[in-house]
Amino acid sequence: MIDPNKSRRASIAVFALLYLGYCISYIDRAAIALSLVAIGKEFNVGSAALGVVMSTFYISYAAMQIPGGWIADRWGSKKVIVVSVAFWSLFTLMTGLAWSLASLIAIRFIFGLGEGGYPGAAVKGVTESCARADRPKMSALLMSSNYVGSFIAPLAIAPLILYLGWRHAFVVAGIAGVVFALFYLFAVKDTHQKRDASGRATRIDGAATRALLKMPLMWKILLTWFGMGIVNKGLDAWMPAYLLTERHLDLKAVGMLTPLPFVAASISTALGGWILTRWFDGREKWLMAACCVISGFFLYEMYTAETVTGVIAYQSIVYFFKSFVFAGVFALPTKFLPQKLIGTGAGMVNFGGQVAGFVAPAVIGLLVSMTGNYNAVFGFLIAATALAAVTSLSIGLASENDARRLGTAEEA
């Protein structure tokens, strides 16, 4: 007989490792944003070229979202997690060895391929070890790691850049990731099951995948996160450079101020799943739409703020409310998708956010190069919140036919 307390402890331990893995991924990713100014000076390139460096990662990262989730559904989360973390950590280290702009772009592209398998596999890993009713809460809680990692990144990476240089900062981060991958390999048991308790196959098949990809609800959720992902990825990528160049701060000050909005975001994302299930069950779209509108309003306040304190305060409010949308778009699929489709579904939603990750940095870099300031940038970000608000209002729960086609009814 399995000891339920022991099983619960094991589930919590796996969740903690998945949470840490997500933090590491965001630390590695945020390092490039903090290094942009130094990289631009060393390679003698401008904002448009640096925007390409940022966006290149998101091309490959976005491309791997659905395949990575599908592989996790097919073969289990552990294999994908170990390979993904080891792969991206190697190319984090390689970033510090880049010898030209072209080599840096190539390395960041391959880096994205490695990291792209992690989100779907991580969500899959959480759902493999928790009850169906707990999936929305735990999945949303897992997503809060994105902001915790982004909060930690400037505190960890900025001092490394200052004292060791940007190249050695990437080498240190890459080594840490390889160590984590080895620990996960030997410490975590593979819990993937090919059949459920009734003997039915739990592995994803082609028919289920095609049904999922044709589901209008999933595309509405994806598009909602694409809109807010423009805000998410745009600010993540360019805020350090904005504070350095437009608000005339030094790197040390940026390293201290940049993490603050991520504190607000991590709190709201962690609470998001619980609030959605407790007070907005069946009415998730209203909360998400309201948060999109509020985010747009405070983006305008952030743009017009006269002091750095105002900029950071309004950015923190933007991050707080947009993160409820983040929690919602990942919690919703775990509410109605069967276990065998969780990885692919999570990858599909994250695909929308990562396409935004490609679009936003490149567009912002182009706008800054064309205008010499960030005025048009904030208009672009506010328009993205409007798109997300309209799309989220069109979201409805899956119909019975959709659920039956995906296998939800059988699994329940």
In the numeric block, the tokens 């903690």 are attached to: 16
Candidates 411, 218, 215; CA nearest to 329 is 218
3-class SS at 395?
Answer: coil
Give me the count of residues in the chain: 412
Phi, psi (deg, nearest 5) at residue 201: -65, 135
pLDDT value for 307: 84
Phi, psi (deg, nearest 5) at residue 195: -140, 150
CA dihedral 259, 265, 271, 276 (to 10 degrees): -170
Q: Which residues of the chain have pLDDT under 70?
A: 1-7, 191-205, 251, 255, 397-412
Whether 172 maps to a domain, the answer reads yes
pLDDT value for 251: 65
pLDDT value for 412: 39
Cα–Cα distance measured from residue 224 to residue 331, given in angstroms and rounded to the nearest whole number: 13
CA atoms within a 13 Å half-sphere pointing along the CA-CB vector of 199: 0
Contact at 8 Å (CB) between 340 and 132? no
What total number of domains does the chain contain?
A: 1
Q: Please list, in sequence order, all residues whose beta carbon lies within 8 angstroms of the beta carbon of residue 321, skipping any fewer than 6 positions away.
A: 268, 291, 292, 294, 295, 298
Buried b (16+ CB within 10 A) or exposed e, 129-142: bbeeebbbbbbbbb
Whether 232 maps to a domain, the answer reads yes
Whether 11 maps to a domain, the answer reads no
Whether 196 maps to a domain, the answer reads no
Question: How much of the chain is in helix, strand and coil states, percent to nearest 5?
Answer: 85, 0, 15
CA dihedral 76, 24, 30, 261 (to 10 degrees): 100
pLDDT value for 392: 92
Cα–Cα distance measured from residue 76 to residue 184, given in angstroms and rounded to the nearest whole number: 14
Contact at 8 Å (CB) between 326 and 291? no
Residue 399, Cβ neighbours under 10 Å: how many? 12
Whether 195 maps to a domain, the answer reads no
Q: How do residues 225-255 score in pLDDT, each as one tens digit? A: 999 999 988 887 788 778 888 887 776 777 6
Q: CATH code at 397? A: 1.20.1250.20
| Cα distances (angstroms) measured from residue 320 to each of 177, 289, 292 | 28, 14, 11
pLDDT value for 407: 54
Whether 193 maps to a domain, the answer reads no
Whether 173 maps to a domain, the answer reads yes
pLDDT value for 198: 47
Candidates 203, 262, 229; CA nearest to 350 is 229
Q: Which range marks the domain in which residue 164 is found?
A: 17-188+203-407
pLDDT value for 45: 78
pLDDT value for 74: 84
Contact at 8 Å (CB) between 381 and 297? no
| Cα distances (angstroms) measured from residue 47 to each of 40, 98, 239, 368, 406 | 8, 18, 13, 7, 45
Contact at 8 Å (CB) between 17 and 188? yes
Whether 55 maps to a domain, the answer reads yes
